[in-house]
A and B are shown apart, each in its own frame.
Chain A
Amino acid sequence: MQVLLLSLLVALLGTGAAVNAEPVVVVNAASTTQQLRQDEVINIFLGRYRSLPSGGGAVPIDQPESSALRAEFYRRLVNKELNQINAYWSRLIFSGRTSPPLQASSASEVIQLLVANPGGVAYVERSQVDKRFRIVLEFPR
């Protein structure tokens, strides 16, 4: 019941965030990476490089397809709509040299993946950030 309630709350919050979503880029608190520049985030998320400046592989994690946070993230990152991002990936996918970010099925899965993956780089709602994560990039308002 507690879980259900929490989920509901998260769902509520999630929907609230859809209106007022404010994504921040975070890494596992165990990571050595302290800060990322916006272009470094672009390179990681759009498949140009898959490594962190501090060394070690970078695993970008995307929010679910329909997530409002995802749309807001790409809008803030590269000023593109999600369909444009999808078209981009569709040109690259079949050559197989690079791949899109890891696709989480939900927001919680994003957190799980991030906790489980020391090289993970994700974007979450600011309110969801806790001591397990470290904010490496905030988008100016």
Chain B
Amino acid sequence: MKELSRALSALLRPRGVLLHSTLAVILASTLAALVAVGYTAHATSQRAYLASQTRLNELLDTIEGTLAVACFAKDQTLAGELAQGLLSNSDVLGVSIATGQETLTDMHRGQSSGPPAMLLKRQVYSPFDRHKQVGEILLTPDPLVIEARIREEVWFAAIQLSWQLAMVTFAVVVMMLLFIVRPMKAISDRLHQMDPAAGERLATPQGHASTEIGQLVEDINALSDRLVSALATERKLRLQGEIDEKRYHTIFDNAESGLFLIDSQGLLTSWNPAFARLFSILPQPLPNDPFVLTIGQLPWQSPSQMSELVRSAVEQNQAVAQDFQYVNPQGQLNWINMVLSPVGDNLLQGVVHDVSRLKESEAYARRQVITDSLTGLVNRLGLEERLQAHLQEFAATKIGGFTLLMINLDEFRQVNEGMGLPAGDNILQSTTSRLSACIKSEDTLARLAADNFCIILSGVTQGEVVERIANRILQAIRQTYFVDGSPVNLHASIGITLFPNDGFDVPMLLRQTELALDSAKSAGGDTQVFFDPTLTEAVEYRRHLESDLRSAIQKNELVLFFQPIIDLNAQRLSGAEALIRWRHPTRGLVSPDSFIPLAEKVGLIAEIGLFVVDRACQQLLSWKNQGLDYTLSLNVSGRQIPDRLSPDMLNSVVQRYGISPDRLALEITEGVMLHDVEKSLQWLGAVHRMGFRVYLDDFGTGYSSLSYLKLFPVDTLKVDKSFVQDMQDDSNEYKLVAAIIAMGRGLGLEIVAEGVELKSHLTALKRMGCHYAQGYYFSQPVPAEEFAAAAARVAELLAQPET
């Protein structure tokens, strides 16, 4: 009972579910009832009208026969009887029967107040002829009667619907009370007292295990579970957070690196002790300190870079790093590295650490990389950097041209090989100081490799100034060096380029300078050459020549010329020197001075060397077959020794032609032997043992080291033509040639004098006791086919009487 009253109080709650639902049900039912009643009224009136029509028709049917008789006979009495009978029916209000001509009867019952009803009219046919009309009857139905019937039916339907409505509403209210309101109230009461954290949960109301209410209870319980577990997780996280914060605080306080937070304006909001120590500021920001400190106020060397970094970190929204210099509390300039990372909330987290030592070692390593350890000068890398810097400066300002000089010692290799590496190093160091003395402090002196030096003359572009400086350098190098007390005389070649005239990038400048240097070397050294574009053309020319040379051998363009050698004692032609010539299809005869160095450089020398040996043997065989016992000498370059023209290769060629090795002489220069003394000695020893003769060529122009003469197995000396050509009575050359001949004879060597151009030369040589002579006086070098003619001319010359 108590429950019911509680439920009723719930029902009366103004915004309660029950009241709402009940009102909604009543409203909906009433609407439905109104529609139903309206429809019923309409349908009933239709039905009632039709029913009345049917009934009247049936009435007429029953009297039809009599009516036909009455009309046929025009019997008013009979018609009146019929009308009377019809009027006794409550539906009928009036009857009128008429034949074609007259009205038999017209009767009405009372007066109808309702609207005129539809008249029912029927035609009456003769009882004897169904097609002959004899009259008609008009029935007036009573509308009031029909209306009354309709009203009655509608009323009945309305009452029935009201009953049903009342029953449905009652049922709904009761059902809602029982199945919804009561369990909800119970759930609500229970929820008020429930403590979900203590594990209390809602109980499912009885009978609602599988209803929506039961589902709701389950959902509420699940929600409680989730809330409770979320609360527990959050509590755990908060605890963990506190622990983490403590831990991070410890790390923050004890970190070696400086750590700090700034806002996007650079305002420092917090920092750690290490940061404070770096910049000598308070260990902690003071609480409520009105004095604000920004990162830019720290003692940076260039504060603008710092604000730049802050801005770029904020703009890019990603970590940025840079090294900065700052003045430390002791007043020294130190390096720190700073990393700024956005951490959200418009804050930047910064890490700084001292990188001064790192910077120092970096700088040291850098210096090492670009420094030549022997002389302390910058090396090639350093030079290229400086040049690059000059180029960039020029590109930016359009002023600041410069001159690049490349200096090479002409005879350094010989010194290094002949006197040892320490001597060479000594000379390089001396050269460094001499060169330094020739330039100003803003100029750059570099050593690229071995004895290759470079100088950048900053701001100097006038040719005459450069020439003056270059001459000063040449002069400085010419001064005698002393190595372990021994005097050494050296010369320098200098290649010069002017920037920006001669080149616009570093590799190009270096290449042009090197070209100029090569040109200076080719000119004999001890000189300076300014780069000019024709040098490039010369290089082009060499390149073409090189490719031509490669095909020259296949195309048989290389030929041997032979210059007769005369035995002065026997007064006869004893043999010849084989000289190679290149019959170039477009350039004509190319001298070996032009293409042999090229062949050496590009590695064709071995092939050419063998070709020469082969042709020489062929010629010897040809002479042998003619019964001529000539000898042939041929030139061997240093590059062919020891492997490119090995003793075995030589031997196999002479064997193939069946030539005795002593017919073939190998001419070498002193320079060849200086190149690699050990290997040269072995090679010489081997060929000498095989029976080949060895000539020392160009004797007198090189070192003419007498100890070498003793050391090497040499059979013959060839006196250089420069001495012979300049021989005049009592001239120095005359004495030199005489001395060489005397010395050679003393050592048991035979002597060939080259460059015999005049008869006087011949006379003098004979007087000196020279064994052999060679030169234009007798014959220039001639091709093999002309050699016989040349031999005949020689015989003629020899036959001339001496004057």
Contact = CB atoms under 8 A, between A and B. Distances in A.
A83 interface: no
Interface residues of B, number: 14
A78 B128 contact: yes
Given A46-B73, A48-B72, A98-B75, A91 B128 contact: no
Given A42-B128, A80-B128, A97 B69 contact: no
A17 B75 CA distance: 36
B606 interface: no
Nearest to A74: B128
A139 interface: no
B128 A97 contact: no
Given A88-B69, A95-B75, A97-B74, 20 more contacts: A39-B129, A39-B132, A42-B128, A46-B73, A47-B73, A48-B72, A48-B73, A48-B74, A79-B128, A80-B128, A88-B127, A91-B66, A91-B69, A95-B76, A95-B77, A96-B77, A97-B73, A97-B75, A97-B76, A98-B75
A60 to B, nearest CB: 14
A78 B129 CA distance: 8
Interface string A63-82: 00000000000000011100
B78 interface: yes
B690 to A, nearest CB: 174
Interface residues of A, number: 16
B124 to A, nearest CB: 13
Contact of A92 (B69, B128, B129, B132): B69
Contacts of A94: 77
A74 B66 CA distance: 19
Contacts of A97: 73-77
Interface string A94-107: 11111000000000
Contacts of B69: 88, 91-92
A46 B73 CA distance: 8
Interface of A: 39, 42, 46-48, 78-80, 88, 91-92, 94-98
A47 B134 CA distance: 14
Q: Which of A80, A94, A95, A96 has the most CB of B within 10 A?
A: A95
A118 to B, nearest CB: 25
Nearest to B81: A95
20 contacts: A39-B129, A39-B132, A46-B73, A46-B128, A48-B74, A78-B128, A78-B129, A88-B127, A91-B69, A92-B69, A92-B73, A94-B77, A95-B76, A95-B78, A96-B77, A97-B75, A97-B76, A97-B77, A98-B73, A98-B75
Interface in B122-137: 127-129, 132
A39 B129 CA distance: 9
B127 A92 contact: no
Contacts of A79: 128
A35 to B, nearest CB: 20
* 7 closest cross-chain pairs (CB), A and B: A95-B77, A78-B128, A91-B69, A95-B75, A97-B75, A95-B78, A92-B73
Interface of B: 66, 69-70, 72-78, 127-129, 132
Contacts of A42: 128-129
A88 B77 CA distance: 15
Contacts of B74: 48, 97
Contacts of A91: 66, 69-70, 78
B72 A46 contact: yes
A42 B75 CA distance: 16
A80 B66 CA distance: 16
A79 B77 CA distance: 27
Contacts of A78: 128-129
B98 to A, nearest CB: 16
A97 B129 CA distance: 22
Nearest to A91: B69
Contacts of B128: 42, 46, 78-80
Contacts of A88: 69, 127
Nearest to B76: A97
A68 to B, nearest CB: 21
B47 to A, nearest CB: 36
Contacts of A47: 73
Contacts of A92: 69, 73, 75, 78
Contacts of B76: 95, 97
Nearest to B66: A91
Contacts of B78: 91-92, 95
A38 to B, nearest CB: 10
A80 to B, nearest CB: 7
A47 B66 CA distance: 15
A90 to B, nearest CB: 10
B637 to A, nearest CB: 166
A80 B127 CA distance: 10
A92 B79 CA distance: 11
Nearest to B79: A95
A91 B73 CA distance: 10
Contacts of B132: 39
A125 B74 CA distance: 31
A95 B72 CA distance: 14
Contacts of B70: 91
A47 B126 CA distance: 13
Nearest to A96: B77
A97 B127 CA distance: 18
Contacts of B75: 92, 95, 97-98
B26 to A, nearest CB: 65
Q: Which of B69, B72, B128 has the most CB of A within 10 A?
A: B128
Contacts of A98: 73, 75
A108 B175 CA distance: 101
Nearest to A42: B128
Nearest to A97: B75
Nearest to A85: B128
Contacts of B66: 91
B110 to A, nearest CB: 26
A46 B72 CA distance: 9
Contacts of B73: 46-48, 92, 97-98
A125 to B, nearest CB: 23
A39 B70 CA distance: 17
Nearest to B72: A48
B184 to A, nearest CB: 84
Nearest to A95: B77
A79 B130 CA distance: 12
A46 B129 CA distance: 13
A19 to B, nearest CB: 26
A81 B726 CA distance: 193
Contacts of B77: 94-97
